Amino acid sequence: MRSSLLAVSLLAVAAHAAPPVPRFPGAATTVVVNRNDGRVAAVVGSKLILQDSLASEVVAKDYDLPGREQTIREFRGNTLVYSTRSVEDMPFVLVALHVDGRERLAWPNEGLSELFPTEASRLTLDGRGLYGELVLDGAVREYFELSDDIPLGAGVAATYRFAGERLSARASEAFRQVVALTPDDLLIALSGGGVLRYKAGDGVLWRQDIAGDPWRLVDVDDKGRQLLGLDSGKVLRCLALDRGELRWEWSLTAQGTSLGAALGIEDEAAASTPTVKRRRGDRNATQVPTPAPTPVRIRDARLLRGGRVLLFGDQPRRFLLVLDPAGNRVVGDEVLGGLERRGFGAVEAWWLDEATDLSAAWEMPGTAGVSLLLRGTDGWYVVPVTLPAQ
């Protein structure tokens, strides 16, 4: 308890030493980090800037972007994806750009079908192409020349390789979600629970079947060779990327006491059991169930250094915290609840009103404790979460 109070005190002192200022100013500013090497891309106004690290404020390169309402979306390998509006006669354009300034692809594109790539397409983790999920219908079957044996409504994992402009697709009733390591190497979440890894030319490299609800692949750490799956907003599972072994599993129902304590609520098991009240003064009256507290739900998660996991949830209220799954403990305090008193009211306001996932949170490098770069209503701020000893 003493160390926890000391941590809160020291963080408060640090926060009040000087008013925090945005690391990247601007309400419309967007920032992404290349998870493999730490390089940073930010769009400030109409300018795209590249930095070698979040630890450096030196601009390595910058580019003027066309249109308006420009937004940086992804940075993988040596490729960036940004969106812009009102370019010539097109209301919305997505552009894949090499870090040397060469345009790799812009879409909509007359040379490509409207079926794929789309606005929802993502960069492969190596930055050499795009991938996306489609639902098999007649047009998709014809475009990708998929077998008639695959039933309509099946999941389709589609990829596009920049080099050679090569399209490909795989389809199955079992496909639920895809994350592409490369245009030929796919992680696929299955409708019956679990995940498999498929590589063109080699077939299924491994398959991890864990019966239950479909997983959502919330994070893939290619550098750390691991992936993170979320089952029903309550169970986190970490798998080794190379062979698919289960590294660890953490369940809100079985292990959520520490998380509930950090949020100031009952543990998950107690919260899921409604209590029963009898009407006063009438022994034979019908028992009236008291509504159970709203259960905790995790909405998104991201792997951090040191085996930790950043969690974002929206039930019973929005929360942001760092979990140590191996020790089954919350590291530091829940983040959103203390932001305003520490001078980060702009961050609290954005996360309570706008956030839907962890795309606006990045782990700061080189810190002994945990610090995050978080979006606010007027820019992006570096927010200390824990002290080095935590």
The token duo for 358 is 């962890």
The closest of 115, 67, 119 to 90, measured between CA atoms, is 67
pLDDT at 250 over 60: yes
The closest of 250, 261, 356 to 303, measured between CA atoms, is 250
Residue 314 lies in a domain: no
CA dihedral (242, 323, 219, 246) in degrees, to 10, reads 30
pLDDT given at position 275 = 41
Matching residue, tokens 């997505």: 94
Residue 55 lies in a domain: yes
Residue 46 lies in a domain: yes
Quickly list DSSP for 117-155. Answer: S-TT-EE-TTSSEEEEEEE--HHHHHHHT--TTSPTT-E
Whole-number percent of the chain with pLDDT over 70: 87
When pLDDT is cut at 50, 70 and 90, the band that residue 280 belongs to is: very low
The token duo for 221 is 């750490």
pLDDT at 18 over 90: no
Query: Which of 58-67, 159-168, 262-271, 357-366 is the least confident region?
Result: 262-271
Residue 383 lies in a domain: no
More confident position, 154 or 258 = 154
The token duo for 350 is 């954005």
Residue 348 lies in a domain: no
When pLDDT is cut at 50, 70 and 90, the band that residue 277 belongs to is: very low
pLDDT at 88 over 90: no
pLDDT given at position 205 = 98
pLDDT given at position 291 = 54
pLDDT given at position 368 = 73
pLDDT given at position 44 = 97
CB 108 within 8 A of CB 93: yes
Domain count, the chain: 1
Range(s) of the domain holding residue 51: 39-103
pLDDT by residue (tens digit) across 335-387? 999 999 999 999 999 999 999 999 999 999 986 789 999 999 999 999 999 86
Residue 50 lies in a domain: yes
Quickly list DSSP for 4-23. Answer: HHHHHHHHHHHHHSS----S
Average pLDDT over residues 130-157: 97
Matching residue, tokens 């679990």: 194
C-alpha to C-alpha distance for 340 and 65, rounded to whole angstroms: 35
The closest of 138, 174, 178, 187 to 158, measured between CA atoms, is 178
pLDDT at 64 over 50: yes
pTM, to two decimals: 0.88
* Secondary structure of residue 349 in the 3-state scheme: helix
Residue 163 lies in a domain: no
Cis check: omega of the bond before 316, within 30 degrees of 0: yes
Whole-number percent of the chain with pLDDT over 90: 75
pLDDT by residue (tens digit) across 173-196? 999 999 999 999 999 999 999 999
C-alpha to C-alpha distance for 30 and 71, rounded to whole angstroms: 6
C-alpha to C-alpha distance for 214 and 193, rounded to whole angstroms: 4
Residue 56 lies in a domain: yes
The closest of 106, 114, 68, 71 to 87, measured between CA atoms, is 68
CB 215 within 8 A of CB 189: yes
